[in-house]
Structures are given as C-alpha cells and as structure tokens.
Structure 1
Amino acid sequence: MRLLTLIPLLFASTAFADKASRAVPEAFTGLNYTKASFSEKAMVSAANPHAVNAAVSMLKKGGSAVDAAIAAQLMLTLVEPQSSGIGGGAFMLHYNADAKLLESYDGRETAPSKATPSLFLDSNGKPLRWIDAVVGGRSVGVPGILKMLEMAHKEHGKLEWKALFEPTIKLAQSGFVVSPRLAKLVQMEMNPGLRHSETASSYFFPNGEPIKAGSILKNLAYAETLQVLAEKGASAFYKGDIAKNIAQAVQSSNAAPGLLREVDLANYQAKKRVPVCVEYKSAESYEICSMGPPSSGGITVLQILKMLEGFDLNEFPYEHPNTIHKYTQAARLAFADRDKYMADSDFIDVPIQNLLDTNYLKERAKLISNSRDMGKASAGVFGSDLHENVSVEQPNTTHMSIVDPFGNAVSMTSSIEMGFGSTVMANGFLLNNQLTDFSLKPEVDGKLVANRVEANKRPRSSMTPVIIFKDDKVFAVIGSPGGSRIINYVGYALLGLLEYGLDMKQVIDAPRISNRNGYTSIEAGYNNDRLKAELERKGHKVRVMNMTSGIHGILRTDKGWQGAADPRREGTAVGL
C-alpha cells in the first residue's frame, strides 16, 4: 500500500437497549439543497454556515486545515450545541502533504476513574432503562476534544492558538441568529432532560419558552470560557476553575449525579492512533483510510467495501435493488464482527489484522446470495470468548471536511452523543452523555462484553472520518453524523464515489440505505415503493424512515476541489 509504507498497520446490552438503539428516530427538520462549490485552492464543508465561515477566515489568514478545523469546532459548540462541542469528543484524520503522512487523533471521552462495569445497573443488578441512563451526570465522560485539538495544533497549526477563538468569541458576545433546525429541535424537546436541567433550561427556554428561529441568542458564559482558553490553552479546561465547574455540575446533576472528578479531567490524555487503511480496486485503484479503535466505524466500512470488491456491481445502477441488496448483506456481515469484537483497543485485544485480512473477507463475501437476504449474520471466529453487544448510539453528531491551500486535509467527526448530550451545562457549553455508548450490561450468559464500562476506558464509537487517496494524492475527504448508521451512510456514499464514478454532491443527495444486521432501512421521500417491494421479495424486513445523515465531503475533480453539504441538515461548502 502506498501510504502504509509510511505508517505500518498496528495493532451489551439488553433487549431494551437493542430496541432503543435501533428504533429511536433521528430528528428530521426538512431538506435544504445547496449547490456544490468548486475551488482550485482550498475547501471547507461543515454543518453550519457560521462554522464554515470561521474556518475559511482562518485559511484566508494563511492558516492550515487544522487551524480551520479548530475555529469551526469552537463555532459549532455555539451554533450547533445539540450535536457537538468542547464538552464532548472527536476523532480526526490529518494528512500532511509535505511529509506525505496520514495520522489519526483520538479525542474520545473516557470513563471516570471511579467508574465500574456496574455503572448502569440498578440495585438488583439489572440494566437501567436507556432513557434513565442517558440524562444527567452519570452518563458524562471526560471531554477530550480540546486536548486533541491542541495536540494537532502544536504539530500542524500555522496561526496562533488564540487567533482561532476570535470569530466565536465575537459571535457569542453579540449573539447569533437561531436557525430553524436548532429552534425546532429545542421545541420538539428531543432530549427530555433539557427542560429539567436548570442551567440548560434557562438558556434554551428563556422565560420558560423555547428559543425561536430568527431570534438572537447570546452566550456570554461561553465567550468568557473561550477567552480563558485562548490565553491559557487547553490546560485551563482540564485544571482550574473550568474543571472545577464541570466536576461540580456533573456531581450535582439533579437527574443522576455522576462520578467525574477534577482529577479525571487533569489526567485526561488525547492519543495519536495508527489509521486503518485498505486498497480498493474498481475501475481504478484507491486507498481508503479511516479511524481505528476505539471507533468501530473505520474497520466496519473497510470490511463492507472489501467484501463488495469482488462483485461486478456495475451490472446494475447505484440505486438498483440488486446493488442495495448486496450492500446490505456485506453490512450485515461487517456489523456482526463489529458488535462482537470492537471496543477500546487499550483494554481489549481487537483483532484488526484478522478483521481486515483479504482472504477472510473473500470468504465472508461468499456468504452473500444474489437473491436472498441472509437474515441475522454471525461474527467470524477468531478464538474469542466475548459476547456480542449492541450499545445505544445516538445520531446527533457533526462532521467537517477541510482541504487547505498547502494540500493538507482534515476529516473530523465530533459529538456530544444524544441531542443536547447529558443536558448538564457548565461554563456555557453542554456536556456529553458518551458513557451510554458503552454496553449497559457488562456480561451476558457469563461472557464478558468487549464494550463494557471500565475506569478510564473509551466507549466504542461509530464515527467514521475518511480520507481516500488516488495516485498518492488526496482524492476525497468525507464523513457523517448519524449514530451507528454513520457506517452505512459513509459506506454507501463511498460505493457511489469509487464504483459508480458519482461526484460528491450526487452521493450526498442520494437516498440513504442502512442495515445494522437487522432490518433494512430505506430513506423516506424518494418514491421508493418499488425498492421496498423488491427487497421484501428477497426476504428483507424493510422500514421506510427519515434518516438524517449529515455527510460533508470534498472531492478532487478536473475543476479543482468540489465541496458539498448534506441537505438534511444546515451545512454549506465554501471554497477559498
């Protein structure tokens, strides 16, 4: 593999939790189609225009892709608080064009040092109801995104750290116009704890009424926090007054007091990980790279594509029932492996090389029938005695893709988990509820679950930031929010790019397809009665539903960089 010569490849749940993770609808707030953007120099695609503008302003000042990503994330904490923020975590892929080096950064949250496998069990040893586990301080993990961003900035930033904070500080002080999406999500009360958390309620429900689209919302507490962080660096988040306020907010949560302490913040470490990459051959040869554990997204997507590599997919169009059938069968097999083997590799021996072995995946692909749905797939056998698990992973995340004028690229997915996170708010930002990404039940039938809660462990994620290379150059940068469906959103989009020669806007605007080793989901609103009928004839159990992805991507074309944003959210793509 071309890039891997530079980086060697190193190396649940209850029925209720399973039902919750697969049945909770994603918040659909309409479609907002935008045109694709083109630029020969640089491109930013992210989930909110304010964030895109902040990122572009850094590039105009001579900043790098990392500088732009930091400015965008700080802004998203303000204007898209339901999806991500400095109270959460992230995974970042970074390509250094000068060194021809791909690196990945892990800013995933960790469980507090006092957490035990029984964190989400009641006094009788039974798992809590999912909704009782989610809201309040008990679900809050140690936020990791700022440590990760500072690490990346020290290695790849070109602008001063404090300069990256200026756009968001100004907007937080003057106030931003509340978007229709944010207003609707607050009004829907998609997170039941939002109105009952005193600090969050006073911010999102001023005078007891939900914020309205078009109104001006200021966040002076967040502006003050950013001013401190701009001057003192990320250390001011993990030690001192901010850390004290976070710990107090978690421990005093009226919904469910949590275990996070100041010492947990002080001890947090962001990590550099080795990306997972495979070669993929269709009409041309590509190298697809993504994030390894503790994210399950990268390995699972790579498995899906490698299993499909041996099929003549161009026999049928991209959205044809036969294409979608084969895709969903590969997804079933990959999700079976994911659910059994994938967790934090610092705690669990994740068999990465086995899972991505070409011969293994060819054998798995032989299980795919052209005519019949296989039903629930079983995981491959690698001598492990772990029990399969399914964690409850919510779709309220964000993704940004950035290419700078120097040829560097960033693909970053970040999250606070459920919409509005734990609803615990401190210093002007919401705290995550990522600990519910662990399996609520630590063992099943006497077998340990890989993704069980353990002190200082990172919960499994489905975030799937991707960078694709062609001819030793960046070909595409892509990713999406969407909980565990992220894997299918990104995987099916990659199939369109690499097998069918579609451009970024075409794959982003196309209907979404998903199978997580259960029913097959097809997106509502695309006249898909025939597709549903054809899949059901093949034995699929089909659900038509809203599937609110948020793919933001960039593609190298003959016209330069093409940027596109998912119409299901409110993002934009802007070139320099």
Structure 2
Amino acid sequence: MTLLRSLLAAGAAALLGSCAATDRPAAPPAAVAAPAAAKIFSVVANPLAAEAGMAVLRRGGSAVDAAIAVQAMLSLVEPQSSGIGGGAFMTYYDAATRKVTVYDGRETAPAGATPAMWLGANGQPLPFDTAVLSGRATGVLGAVRMLALAHDEHGRLPWRDLFGDAERTAREGFIVSPRLGRMLRGGFAELSAPDVQAYFARPGGGLLTAGDRLRNPAYAGFLQRLAAQGPDALYAGETARRIVARVAQGPLASSMTLADLAAYRPVKREPICDSWRVYVVCAPPPPASGVGLLELLKILERTDIAARGPADPQGWFLFAEASRLMYADRDRYVGDPAFVQVPVKGLLDPAYVARRAALIGAQAGAPPEAGQPAGAVLAGRDATREPMGTSHFIVGDAAGNVVSMTTTVESIFGSGRMVDGFFLNNQMTDFSFAPVDAQGRPAANAVAPGKRPRSSMTPLVMLTADRRFAGAFGSAGGNAILAYVGKSMVGAVDWRLPTQEALALPNLVARGQAFQGEVTKFSPALLAGLAARGIDLKPGQGEDSGLQGLLVRGGLYDGGFDPRREGRALVEPAPGSARVLSGNADRVAHARETVPAQ
C-alpha cells in the first residue's frame, strides 16, 4: 500500500502484484500508475483483447477503432460473456469538444414478439432455463451496427483493418484460459446446448479444459467477410439467413425474420450527467440503468459514508440500504423510453433523493417500496430475471478520446446457439417474464415488438467541472452491475483507495430482501457489525463482477481491472512519444517496480 501511494505521488512506475482475498488487499494486482499526458490505454477483462485494442492504438487508431478490435477478440476468447452476437452500450468522450455521447446497441424484440411470449400454457412465467435455451430467447443483434455507427463518426483507421488480430487468433487458435475453463465446468443450463457441446468438445470426450488449444475457423472466415463487407456481413446475406434459421428451431421458435435484422438501427442518445462529489458523472440513459447508478451515488452523498472506510460496517450498511432504495426505483420504472415514461429527472431531483436517503435508519428492515418521483406513472411490479454475464472495457487514444463500453450476450454463452463461430444472445429473457402484475398494471419492462429490454449495463465517464476527462468505470454482472460499480466508486473516491484496490473490495449486492456478497472476503468483525444492523450476508451467485476502472489523480492515470477475472491494464505513451512508462504483462507473485519515468 505504501509503495503504491508513493508511486502515484511520483508518477514513476507501475505496480504489479497478487491480491489477497481480504477486506483491504495489501498488494493489488497489475495496478497502473502513469502520467496522464499523451497516453494511450487499454483496460480489458481479457489479456488477448486488451492487447488487440492496444495494437490498434499503437498504429494510430482511435478509441472507437480499438473498441472494435477488442469486441472482435472478446467474441472469440470470452464467448461466455460477450460477442458480436449480442448488444452493447458505449459511452464516448470526445476530447476536442468535451462532449459525451452514448451509442445504444441494445438488441430489440422481433416484430412478431408478444407480451405473453414468456408465459406457459398455465399462464405462469416459464422456467428461466427453459426460456434461455429457446429460439425466441435471441433479440435482434445490436453491437456490430452500433460499432459501425461510432466508427463512421469517430474512426481513424479503415474498418477493414480492425479485425486482423481476432481473425488470426481464431484461425491459429488460442489457449483456453482458467476462467473460460471454469465456465465450462459450471452448472449452467447452456452447457447442455448442442452447439456448446460441439464447439468445446475435447478429443476423447468431454469439454475442453484450461490449457487446451481452441481453434475457430468458422469465426475466422466470418471476420474476413465482416472486414470486407462491413456490418451487412452480419445483417444480410448468408450469415443473416443462418441466424434466422437457427433461432427458428425449437423449442419455442423465434419469430425473427430477415426483415428484423435488416431493420435494426442503433440509437445515439444524450447521456445522463449529474454532479457527484467533485465530478460530473455521465452514464447511459434508459433502457440502460445509468439513472439508477446516479441515484445510488446521490443517496449516498447524503450520508456520512465518506467518513467511513472499508473496515467500517456502518459504511457497508449505508451502501446496502441505499442500494435497496435505488433498486426498488430502478426495477419499477426503467424501461425502453420509446415505450414507457421513465421519470429520469424525478428520480434525480434533490428533494426526492433527500426523501429516499431519509428512509435509511439504524437497522435494515423490510424491502423498501418504489418511491413516487415527479413524472412517474406507477408501473407494475417487475418480474425480470437478469443473469450474470457481460464484459466491460475502457480504451483511450492519443487525442484524449475515451470509450467506456459494456457488452454482452447475456447468460453464459448466450442462448447456447452458435452461427458462423459466434454465440447468439438471449437478451429477450431480459424482459419481464410477466407482462402485468397482480393488480393488472403493465410492467415497464414488458415485451413489445421492436422494444429494447431494460439493461443494468452502465458504462460511465467521469468529468471535471470544466468537462475534462477524469475517469471511467463499468462492470459485468447482470443486475448486480450497479452495486459493483457503486462499490468501486465509493472505494476509490470516498474512501480514497487506489483504483485497483477499490475494484478488489468485496462485493455486496442488496436488492429487495436479499443481501448477497463475497462473505469470505469480509472480516468476521465486519460481518458481525452488519448482522447487528439486520443484514445477514449470504454468498452471491453467478459469474461475479467484471470491473474495470480508471481515474485521473493529480495528473496521473490510476487504473486497474477486476482481480476476479483475467484482465489487463495497459498504459503507454502515444505513438511517436517517449518509450513505455508503464504497463503490465501477466501477474507476478510479488510487487515490484518497473521502468522509471525519464
């Protein structure tokens, strides 16, 4: 800890180390501390994807160019989480104009989708494992069209030159990582899918394990066509026909057509920006959940959490109770704004936030009800089940432009159905399974043709008061994303921890009546303090967080990645400037200094 703080003050080196599973890790892995001027950076949950992005930046590519290369590689090496068969939200910072733009690449429901598509013959919601493996689980793919739009506006290198690393790796093969190997040994329903079984089959039987080599010639061939033809390689022609045919197969065949794919359009949106501490935080609007994250931060701002710390149970209690209040509102009101009225301004109104914060008492009580902010039309109770998939990454180019992007195929390996070497999403299961509640009120997140399902994704960018870039955060993790990102921001800003250490803090997700978290990473004293305040923390579930974060502190980049994944945080001088100041390869056992600044 002392070493890292001195390095941040001097701006002289990067710190590498292993992370103990404690309240406050003593040696964060792969933290980055480097002067912020004239730098390129790539902070990604997978080393191969981080390097693919950095390779584009070294060639003079833009942040958007690098994002395309990262996504192409993630589709290959992290298929359990994200890919070109899914959707994404990109929050983009333009350094020249100091403007933030959100690119919405969320999937849409096919024109033939119906509000009752997730109800069984008995009128009750279908089991999730049945829905996730069905043909109708797949929404109309959005990530590629969104990336193409962003590239049209902010690309520097030709589209055709952004897929080479992923195409070559797919053709030559890559080594299955420990994390992908663990996913192939999990108890996920998707592992029973025929396409998953075939793709990951090991000679002699069973599925591949960590250390095996995996080749994907079908994906390599598709990437060659995508590079040459642009997004039409996905949304028209042979690949589109194969997608429609694959989702038309039972059980529960999809209504998706070639017309649905051809009609997909991404949406440029204005971010939701609001003040928090000394920053302006900009996050994606509905159907993403940026409003929820901002509400959480602003509720916490009305408590004394900043005077606490990671070893203080009262600080975690305040975080848990604020989370429950936020989730009650988010779950009730957030949906696709083209279909429902989302009271964004009302949820962030200072008087409303103050009323919500005042509900935090000395003890955790019954699950809080949604409030009634100005502009709200009380929607039905939500019945959305959002599993723990997704990837997040951050890239920045030599001009100071930054991409903060969260991308997903939803569940582990999406729907378990594969076309041309990539998995198809199951984002239709992100809609509420029940279109109305017991009182007959329609859910804000009910299915409708052409509608975008609500998303917990919240890739954010932080600005100074004069709108200069100050940081970026985001995470994977389904509905827990808001808690993961909120925890990390509290740790980094309120508790003044190095970013890497803030990301490594134990996760605590409080939603409704459930209090879940990484129980073994909290000290016995802290767990006892939570219990005394009415919180009996239980182990969480699913894939866990996938946090990436970066802050500019005193003219230095302070960045890191989630130690629960296999990420990499790279910061280098911009092309043509001085030699590399910092960056990290694989984790090492002990902290050590690297190249000193010149």
Name the TM-score, length of structure 1 as normaliser.
Answer: 0.91
Stretch moving more, 471-480 or 339-348: 471-480
Alignment partners' CA distance in 2, 1:215 and 1:376? 46
Alignment partners' CA distance in 2, 1:345 and 1:225? 34
Secondary structure in 2 aligned to 1:104?
strand
In the TM superposition, 1:121-200 aligns within 5 A as 121-188=119-186, 190-197=187-194, 199-200=195-196
Alpha-carbon distance, 1:201 to partner: 1.9
Unpaired segments ≥5 residues, structure 1: 1-31
Alignment partners' CA distance in 1, 2:307 and 2:258? 58
Alpha-carbon distance, 1:433 to partner: 0.5
Q: Count residues with an aligned counterpart.
A: 537
Residue 219 of structure 2 corresponds to 222
Alignment partners' CA distance in 2, 1:83 and 1:264? 24
Alignment partners' CA distance in 1, 2:107 and 2:364? 37
1:363-408 alpha-carbon deviations (Å, 9 max, x no partner): 1111111x21132111112452411204111111100011222111
Q: Is residue 117 of structure 1 aligned with residue 115 of structure 2?
A: yes
Alignment partners' CA distance in 1, 2:283 and 2:46? 23
Alignment partners' CA distance in 1, 2:280 and 2:339? 29
Q: Is residue 391 of structure 1 aligned with residue 388 of structure 2?
A: no
Amino acid at match of 2:451: K
Q: Is residue 551 of structure 1 aligned with residue 554 of structure 2?
A: no
Q: 1:224 to 1:531 in 2, by over 3 A?
A: same
In the TM superposition, 1:387-536 aligns within 5 A as 387-445=380-438, 446-471=440-465, 472-536=467-531
Q: Is residue 377 of structure 1 aligned with residue 398 of structure 2?
A: no
Secondary structure in 1 aligned to 2:185?
helix
Q: Is residue 256 of structure 1 aligned with residue 268 of structure 2?
A: no
8 Å contact 2:395–2:403 — kept in the other structure?
Answer: yes
Two-structure CA RMSD over aligned residues (Å): 1.6
8 Å contact 2:133–2:193 — kept in the other structure?
Answer: no
1:402-460 alpha-carbon deviations (Å, 9 max, x no partner): 12221111110001011011001101100001111101111112111111111111111
Alignment partners' CA distance in 2, 1:214 and 1:559? 40
Alpha-carbon distance, 1:561 to partner: 1.8
In the TM superposition, 1:359-378 aligns within 5 A as 359-369=351-361, 371-378=362-369
Residue 49 of structure 1 corresponds to 47
Alignment partners' CA distance in 2, 1:319 and 1:372? 19
Alignment partners' CA distance in 2, 1:166 and 1:469? 33
8 Å contact 1:402–1:554 — kept in the other structure?
Answer: no
Alignment partners' CA distance in 2, 1:501 and 1:196? 45
1:239-295 alpha-carbon deviations (Å, 9 max, x no partner): 11111011011112x4432221111100101001111111112xxx21111111111
Alignment partners' CA distance in 2, 1:423 and 1:457? 23
1:336-361 alpha-carbon deviations (Å, 9 max, x no partner): 11111111111101111111111110
Amino acid at match of 2:327: F
Amino acid at match of 1:133: A
Alignment partners' CA distance in 2, 1:333 and 1:390? 17
Alignment partners' CA distance in 2, 1:447 and 1:314? 39
Alpha-carbon distance, 1:184 to partner: 2.0
Alignment partners' CA distance in 2, 1:147 and 1:522? 36
Alignment partners' CA distance in 2, 1:192 and 1:487? 25
Q: 1:529 to 1:519 in 2, by over 3 A?
A: farther
Secondary structure in 1 aligned to 2:191?
coil
Stretch moving more, 88-97 or 561-570: 561-570
Residue 242 of structure 1 corresponds to 239
Residue 105 of structure 1 corresponds to 103
Alignment partners' CA distance in 2, 1:69 and 1:482? 20
Alignment partners' CA distance in 1, 2:79 and 2:517? 28
Residue 532 of structure 2 corresponds to 537
8 Å contact 2:519–2:538 — kept in the other structure?
Answer: no
Amino acid at match of 1:261: T
8 Å contact 1:397–1:483 — kept in the other structure?
Answer: yes
Between the aligned residues of both structures, percent identity stands at 40
Alignment partners' CA distance in 2, 1:527 and 1:331? 18
Residue 339 of structure 1 corresponds to 331
Q: 1:187 to 1:33 in 2, by over 3 A?
A: farther
Residue 5 of structure 1 corresponds to none
Residue 580 of structure 2 corresponds to none
8 Å contact 1:81–1:429 — kept in the other structure?
Answer: yes
Alpha-carbon distance, 1:34 to partner: 2.6
Secondary structure in 1 aligned to 2:90?
strand
* Pairing partner for 1:318 from 304, 310, 322: 310
Amino acid at match of 1:460: R
Alpha-carbon distance, 1:124 to partner: 2.5
Unpaired segments ≥5 residues, structure 2: 1-26, 573-598
Q: Is residue 294 of structure 1 aligned with residue 287 of structure 2?
A: yes
Alpha-carbon distance, 1:464 to partner: 1.2
Amino acid at match of 2:474: G
Secondary structure in 1 aligned to 2:103?
strand
Name the TM-score, length of structure 2 as normaliser.
Answer: 0.87
Alignment partners' CA distance in 1, 2:179 and 2:306? 38
Alignment partners' CA distance in 1, 2:405 and 2:420? 24
1:516-541 alpha-carbon deviations (Å, 9 max, x no partner): 12222231332432222211211224
Secondary structure in 1 aligned to 2:88?
strand
Alignment partners' CA distance in 1, 2:360 and 2:522? 27
1:459-506 alpha-carbon deviations (Å, 9 max, x no partner): 111011111112432111110001101000001111122222222111
Alpha-carbon distance, 1:183 to partner: 1.6
8 Å contact 2:506–2:522 — kept in the other structure?
Answer: no
Amino acid at match of 2:255: L
Alignment partners' CA distance in 2, 1:313 and 1:206? 51
